[in-house]
Structure 1
Amino acid sequence: MSGALADAALLAAATGLRSSAAPAFLSRAASCGRLSLPGRPLLLRRLGDPRVAALLAAALAGEMVADKLPFVPDRTSPPALAGRMLSGALAGLLVFREAGLGAASGALAGAAVAAASAHAGYRLRGYAAGRGLPDLQVALAEDAAVLACGAAFLRRRAG
């Protein structure tokens, strides 16, 4: 279980910071044959399509740009947090199910990690601002953390 939990936690932590991270990295893994999606509903099987993977990667890049805009709502606002938790739940569900573990447990773990990551990122960004760090630098560090989590997930899946 530790491998599945680590994979789900990496994706969910990234999703707490950028809501489209888990779908983008799940799709990348599936399109490269690193995540098995057979027998899933058609919508989930489409995650393995390289075109879908490219679209979701573009969505993640767009979210990374949009995150720096002043009118974007806080990630801990109810709608934003719910989206992040759903994305984290999807990651946990798929990773746990593939490992033959309880999908519901994976979904709960993913949702919880995404919520915790969203709150931690929000508080860290506020703390950094209070210390005089430019918001753009902190936001770029968050982007780097998201990409590092995704890369770690993909590396773990490679071998």
Structure 2
Amino acid sequence: MMRAVGLGVVSGMRSVMGPAFASQYANRYPSRQLNGSPLGFMQKENVMRGLQTITAGELVADKVPGVLDRISPGGLVGRAAAGGLAGATVYQSGGDKAWRGALIGAVAAIAASYAFFYLRKYAGKKYNLKDAFAGGVEDVLAVGLGVGATARK
């Protein structure tokens, strides 16, 4: 459960990063439960590499002024879907029901989207931080959470 929560939180912070870590986990610890399932694509190396590349682009795009807020309706739906995909992948790879992991990951992503949106705004005002700097700190935290959530089987 904690793996799905962690990757859901990461998805709320950086939408594609949660699925990228889930795919990396599925590649590092291949699972028969994923083979032949609708989530089997997450266990493919080219999917993992593609998600990692998109994540790198997202880290840059997050700092660009004028990008929609993560809590805008479209952004929130995308983050919930990403958290759901990450959660479903790690749950099914462990032999549990994918829908449970999807629900946990999606809820964690939505909660984290709001929490980190307002935390970043607060930190910027309170400590007079540039948004790009606060975003960089958030990037480091998201990577750390992703590494921690997928550290061991």
Give TM-score scaled by structure 2 length: 0.90
1:155 is paired with a residue of what secondary structure?
Answer: coil
Residue 63 of structure 2 corresponds to: 68
Q: For the residues of structure 2 that align with 1:77 and 1:152, how far apart are their CA atoms?
A: 28
Residue 8 of structure 1 corresponds to: 4
Residue 36 of structure 2 corresponds to: 39
1:156 is paired with a residue of what secondary structure?
Answer: coil
Quick check: 2:11–2:18 contact (8 Å CA) kept in 1?
yes
Matches within 5 A, 1:1-159: 5-34=1-30, 37-41=34-38, 44-131=39-126, 132-157=128-153
2:150 is paired with a residue of what secondary structure?
Answer: helix
Change (3 A) 1:13 1:93: same
Q: For the residues of structure 2 that align with 1:15 and 1:35, how far apart are their CA atoms?
A: 22
Moved more, 132-141 or 64-73: 132-141
Backbone CA RMSD of aligned residues: 1.6
How high is the sequence identity, in percent, across the aligned residues? 38
2:152 is paired with a residue of what secondary structure?
Answer: helix
Change (3 A) 1:34 1:145: farther
Give TM-score scaled by structure 1 length: 0.87
Quick check: 2:30–2:43 contact (8 Å CA) kept in 1?
no
Instruction: Read off the aligned partner of 2:48 and give its amino acid letter.
Output: A
Instruction: Read off the aligned partner of 1:146 and give its amino acid letter.
Output: A
Q: For the residues of structure 1 that align with 2:4 and 2:141, how far apart are their CA atoms?
A: 15
Q: For the residues of structure 2 that align with 1:145 and 1:126, how far apart are their CA atoms?
A: 16
Instruction: Read off the aligned partner of 2:107 and give its amino acid letter.
Output: A
- Structure 1 runs (4+) deviating above 6 angstroms are none
Instruction: Read off the aligned partner of 2:121 and give its amino acid letter.
Output: G
Moved more, 27-36 or 119-128: 27-36
Shift of 1:107: 1.6
Moved more, 57-66 or 132-141: 132-141
Instruction: Read off the aligned partner of 1:90 and give its amino acid letter.
Output: L
Give the length in aligned residue pairs: 151
Quick check: 2:26–2:90 contact (8 Å CA) kept in 1?
no
Give the unaligned 5+ runs of structure 2.
none
Q: For the residues of structure 2 that align with 1:25 and 1:107, how far apart are their CA atoms?
A: 15
